[in-house]
Amino acid sequence: MRKPTEIFEKTLLDKLGWGPRTPFYHTEGRIPTEPEMISYSHICYRATENNKPKFVLEIDITIEQFLNNQDILKDLEEIEESDRKFFRKEKKYLWVIDEYYELLLLPEITQNPEGDRGHICHTNITGGSPARHGGELWYGKDSIVFLNNFSGRFYTNDKNEWLAVVDVFIKAGYKKVVDIDLRKNDIPVIYEK
């Protein structure tokens, strides 16, 4: 198994920022709780080289459907996840680029009975250790990945760092990366290999 530093060019890794970011909340005074620091890294999927788990939770959307079906785009604007028809929580992964540049994924529905939410969060992927970036991901059809940077701990506002994150996903083997982070863009942006 190759290391990320053997897979990705140094210039790309440098663009990810000086990180790694320590776990934090955007809410002042809020620190991660002990259950949020429990490590689930031993069951994470390492997507650095192999972009898709063998048994993937996949949403039934092609790129053509995404571009042509307005209901899918409206679904992204739905704040309450339980009201979504396409980007459902049951199919969502959390992703992290850890301090060693590994791209790690875990279904969000993975249980953490010790936590307030009942399921894992980004710091469970790192075991409370720092990470460079994190967010949410859904697999679509035909090696498409729908991606955002929704992480209360490992979020970035830096456009260049975010483009480097997208490039990591492309270089990891995803044919199309659809940036669905509507906090960064007015409309989703599609990046291709």
Any domain includes 33: no
Residue 18 is predicted with a pLDDT of: 64
CA–CA dist 75, 92 (Å, integer): 14
- Quick check: is 19 in a domain? no
Torsion of the alpha carbons at 152, 8, 13 and 55, rounded to the nearest 10: 0
| In the predicted structure, residue 163 carries a pLDDT above the cut 70 | yes
CB 131 within 8 A of CB 17: no
Asked whether residue 69 is assigned to any structural domain, the reply reads: yes
Which of 181, 137, 159, 170 has its CA nearest to residue 16? 159
Indicate whether this model's pTM tops 0.85: yes
- pLDDT by residue (tens digit) across 122-160? 888 888 888 899 999 999 998 899 999 999 888 888 899
Instruction: Count the domains in the chain.
Output: 1
Inside any domain, residue 151? yes
Task: Please check whether residue 21 lies inside any domain of the structure.
Answer: no
pLDDT tens by residue, 176-187: 999 998 888 888
Convert the pLDDT of each residue in 9-37 to its tens digit.
Answer: 999 999 998 665 665 544 444 556 777 77
Structural domain of 130? 4-12+49-102+115-188
| In a domain? residue 8 | yes
How many Cα atoms sit within 13 Å of 67 on the Cβ side?
8
Average pLDDT over residues 65-71: 92
Residue 182 is encoded by which pair of tokens? 């509507």
